[in-house]
Amino acid sequence: MREIVFDTETTGFDPGTGDRIVEIGCVELLNRIPTGATFHVYINPERDMPAQAEAVHGLSAEFLSDKPLFAEVAEQFLEFIGMDSKLVAHNAGFDMTFIEYELKKCGLLPPTRDRVVDTLILARRKHPGGGNKLDDLCARYGIDNSRRTKHGALLDAELLAEVYAELAGGRQAKLGLVEVVREEFSVTTFSAKKRKARQSSQLNSDEADAHRLFVASLGEKAIWLDYLDEKTLPAAK
């Protein structure tokens, strides 16, 4: 199962009032495990950067001035997320509103909302009444977010991928997989040892005669007589 965990950074809260996307970060998951494939781009919003927004993500208008326009990276973004992969985001309605606005502005069809998984909703269901911001969830699950001094789309997507695995029971699933593998390995190892033991017990007739003579020399009360199984030994010469 392929899923894309993604995040955006913007100039504000509402594309309807002129706010734009300035960064997109995506992380590819297969069966909820990161593959290492990512999509990351900074985008020139063609407008100023409000101080409040810059304080959150640290991206200035000057830094973004030579970056590509959204229209120049839209096709690459759509190619990365694919046609049917689930899209995972925290407070996904916010990100999707901007994605839909930008894609429609380019004359492109945005992904449908039924593809979207909102981890904020998952977190609220699993931890009602608890703090469910990304930092809160990282702290709850012991995920190192020390690099997150400011919001960043790719870093936040990477952290969210770990959070999502926990929300979906990923730690237990991984533990179960390890246990199964260990059990199978143990059985295989044990079977190999049994085969080796059987092979080593296949004595030739000379070795069998020597064994009989040795056991006979121990006397009538020797415990080894109880283990002398003539059915498993080659016939005496």
How far CA 43 is from CA of 104, 105, 153, 194, in Å, comes to: 16, 15, 12, 64
Cβ neighbours of 116 (radius 10 Å): 17
Is residue 151 flagged as an active site residue? yes
DSSP string, 132-184: -SHHHHHHHHT---TT-SS--HHHHHHHHHHHHHHHTTHHHHHHHHHHHHHHH
Report which of 88, 55, 68 is spatially closest to residue 21, judged by C-alpha positions: 68
CA dihedral (179, 180, 184, 185) positive or negative:
negative
CA angle 18–22–27, rounded 5-degree value: 135
The radius of gyration of the chain's CA atoms, rounded to the nearest angstrom, is 32
d(CA 201, CA 181): 30
Catalytic, out of 57, 127, 151, 211:
151
Catalytic residues, by residue number, are: 151
